[in-house]
Every structure is written in structure tokens, then in C-alpha cells.
Amino acid sequence: MNKISDIWKIFISYMLVIILVLFCGGAFGQSTKFCSQEICVVEFNAGWNKANGVKWLDDLENCGVTRILITNANMLADVKKRYNITNVPTIIIFNGKEIERFQACLQFKLAVRKKDVQRIINNAL
């Protein structure tokens, strides 16, 4: 009987650990972790402006790249609030927190060059 009691104690302990992991995972899951690399370059753009997306983004080295395409009003409101996106496309370089941001001009195009973004990535490493 004592052995069964010990098994239940272990089972309940494991369940508590699993529940805590789930709750903590949800709380920390809202961070700015977009990719598995230390440095992550994120392009925010809208469907109607897809033609003005950054073509060379995937050619960057020593970083992860994520493209977020804003497709509806709800997503736009969330992205504007969470990342302060006012123009598209916008590129933000993260290393857990925002390092640098590049925003589009009035023609909805980015004027930043690949070598400038790569320099920031290299300096962050």
C-alpha cells in the first residue's frame, strides 16, 4: 500500500511540473523569438505591398530571416500594437530585443541596402 502511495505522489509531482511548464511556456512565448538563430531579421509587409518586399533578405548571413505578411485588419492592429509598425515594409533586427529598425518611405519601399543590414548583424555578433 505504501508503494502505491509513493507512485501517486510521483505522478502528481510530474503533473504539476508539466502544468507549470505549460503556463510558463505561454507567458514567455510572446517574446520576440522569431527564429532559432541568435540574430533574427524580420520583415513586416502587407499583402497589397508584396511587390515592394525586400528581395535580398534571404541572402543575409549569420542570422535567421522571417517574413510576416499582414493579411487582415485584426493582424494589422496586433502587429501595430506589439511592434509599433507604422509603415510597410519594415525590417527589424532582433537579438532577443530590437537592435535596429528600417521603415519604408512614402513610396512604400525600403531604401536600406543589404550591406548596411549585414554590417549591423555582424556588429551584433
Domains of the chain, by residue range, sit at: 1-30, 40-124
- Which residues have a Cβ under 8 Å from the Cβ of 118 and sit 6 or more positions away? 60, 61
Asked if pLDDT for residue 72 goes beyond 50, the answer is: yes
Q: Write down the pLDDT at residue 35.
A: 81
Residue range 6-63, pLDDT digits in tens: 777 776 666 655 654 555 444 333 345 678 888 999 999 998 999 999 999 999 999 9
Q: Domain 40-124: what homologous superfamily?
A: Glutaredoxin (3.40.30.10)
Distance set, CA 90 to CA 15, 53, 69, 86 (Å): 43, 9, 11, 8
Q: Write down the pLDDT at residue 80.
A: 83
Listed residue (40, 58, 51) closest to 110, CA to CA: 51
What's the first-to-final CA gap in the chain, in angstroms?
58
Cell reading at 39: 540574430
Asked if pLDDT for residue 92 goes beyond 50, the answer is: yes
| Whole-number Å distance between alpha carbons of 60 and 76 | 26
